[in-house]
């Protein structure tokens, strides 16, 4: 089969390797779509031990198994199913497993993938192949963040909400916030094209360096330290900063008046529990037309080096590697 190797220094090669053999408790998946994700940029720059790709959708190939032929998403956190967190339904925060598909084991920039059976999420027939991967990071991560923060800052108490970072998760947060009843959602991003997409969804433009307007809730999706610091400064008293974006670099948080002189929440969330899938499917159904705007193009694996470079440069929102 064809698979991608990330060598670091912005170099990707497509190689021929053996189709994986599913181990006990695993099933073989023929990949149909894998969405590119900005978190893979660190692997693009530094190199990867395994084939990356973690927004994966495909078809199970396991003769005699009940899931044979089933269209499925690949849920990336491998989880034990019996620890305290798993029993509570928090499958993304398993206490005994720390393996993520596409990171610590091979991912979906390849034609086939061996997947733990518990990490397969069946996809309803009315969700087409190009939209299915959005149920993972784009919808799953952003919608879980909004649901998690809602009890602290309910829509009725939020006159203004700001989303910082208009990448796929940030744009997903705009739609999730609107669907949860938040009326006035603002967007901030240095890329004009992405701000324009958010505006087409009904978001209001907020300049990235503007500290005059203040917000009850700020959903930080860029991972940029400057955006995080600014969020702490402009969040209103009794409001919340929801940290969704990631950054591997140390965050030198300096205590100042903005931190000392108000009560506010600073909250972090990670991915989503498997139990959210039904809610995410319903959100995708309600907003199908707008979610289709996320998908810029589909392409074959031979074009992955070129397309990842374009994606990393911010030219594309959510291109899909497609195997037909």
Residue 253 pLDDT: 87
CA distance 110 to 15: 9
- Asked if 186 and 114 sit in the same domain, the reply is no
Q: How many residues does the chain have?
A: 324
Q: Could you state, in chain order, the average pLDDT of each consecutive group of 10 residues for the chain (324 residues)?
A: 97 97 97 96 96 98 95 97 95 94 96 97 97 97 97 95 97 98 96 95 95 96 95 96 93 87 95 97 97 96 97 94 92
Do residues 72 and 29 touch, judged by C-beta distance below 8 A?
Answer: yes
Outline where 104-262 has alpha helix (H).
142-149, 168-179, 192-200, 225-234, 257-260
Residue 240 pLDDT: 97
- Asked if 164 and 117 sit in the same domain, the reply is no
Residue 181 pLDDT: 96
- Asked if 109 and 218 sit in the same domain, the reply is no
Q: Token digits for 257?
A: 């008046």
Backbone angles phi, psi at 229, to 5 degrees: -65, -40
- Asked if 118 and 203 sit in the same domain, the reply is no
Residue 257 pLDDT: 85
Other beta carbons less than 10 A from residue 313's beta carbon: 8
Find the CATH number of the domain harbouring 166. Answer: 3.40.50.720
Do residues 69 and 58 touch, judged by C-beta distance below 8 A?
Answer: no
Outline where 207-251 has alpha helix (H).
225-234
pTM, full prediction = 0.94
> Which class for 140: exposed (0-12), middle (13-18), buried (19 or more C-beta within 10 A)?
buried
Do residues 22 and 114 touch, judged by C-beta distance below 8 A?
Answer: yes
- Asked if 120 and 166 sit in the same domain, the reply is no
- Asked if 105 and 10 sit in the same domain, the reply is yes
Find the CATH number of the domain harbouring 18. Answer: 3.90.180.10
Do residues 29 and 113 touch, judged by C-beta distance below 8 A?
Answer: yes
Q: Domain range for residue 112?
A: 2-130+295-322
Residue 18 pLDDT: 97
- Asked if 210 and 152 sit in the same domain, the reply is yes
- Asked if 210 and 243 sit in the same domain, the reply is yes
Helix pair angle (168-179, 142-149), 10° resolution: 40
> Three-class SS of residue 115?
strand
Residue 66 pLDDT: 94
Q: Does residue 287 fall inside a structural domain?
A: no
Q: Does residue 284 fall inside a structural domain?
A: no
């Amino acid at each position: 089969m064809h698979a991608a190797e990330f060598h670091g220094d912005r170099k990707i090669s497509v190689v021929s390797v053996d189709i994986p053999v599913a181990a006990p408790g695993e099933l073989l998946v023929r990949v149909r779509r894998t969405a590119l994700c900005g978190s893979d940029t660190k692997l693009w720059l530094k190199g990867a031990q395994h084939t990356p790709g973690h927004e994966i959708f495909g078809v199970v190939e396991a003769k005699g198994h009940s899931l044979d032929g089933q269209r499925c998403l690949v849920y990336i956190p491998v989880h034990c199913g019996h620890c305290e967190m798993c029993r509570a339904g928090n499958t993304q925060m398993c206490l005994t497993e720390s393996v993520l598909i596409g990171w610590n084991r091979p991912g979906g920039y390849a034609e086939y993938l061996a997947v733990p059976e518990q990490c397969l999420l069946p996809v309803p027939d009315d969700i087409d192949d190009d939209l299915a991967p959005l149920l993972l990071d784009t919808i799953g991560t952003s919608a879980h963040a909004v649901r998690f923060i809602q009890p602290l800052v309910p829509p009725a108490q939020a006159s203004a909400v700001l989303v910082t970072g208009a990448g796929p998760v940030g744009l997903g947060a705009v739609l999730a916030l609107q669907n949860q009843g938040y009326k006035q959602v603002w967007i901030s991003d240095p890329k004009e094209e992405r701000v324009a997409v958010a505006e087409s969804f009904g978001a209001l433009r907020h300049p990235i360096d503007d500290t005059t307007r203040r917000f009850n809730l700020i959903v930080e999706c860029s991972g940029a330290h400057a955006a995080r610091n600014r969020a702490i400064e402009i969040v209103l008293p009794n409001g919340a900063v929801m940290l969704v974006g990631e950054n591997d670099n140390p965050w030198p948080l300096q205590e100042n008046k903005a931190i000392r002189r108000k009560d506010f929440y600073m909250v972090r969330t990670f991915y989503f529990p498997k139990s959210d899938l039904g809610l995410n499917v319903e959100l995708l159904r309600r907003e199908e037309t707008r979610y289709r705007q996320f998908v810029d193009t589909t392409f074959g694996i031979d074009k992955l080096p070129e397309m990842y470079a374009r994606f990393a440069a911010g030219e594309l929102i959510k291109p899909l590697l497609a195997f037909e």
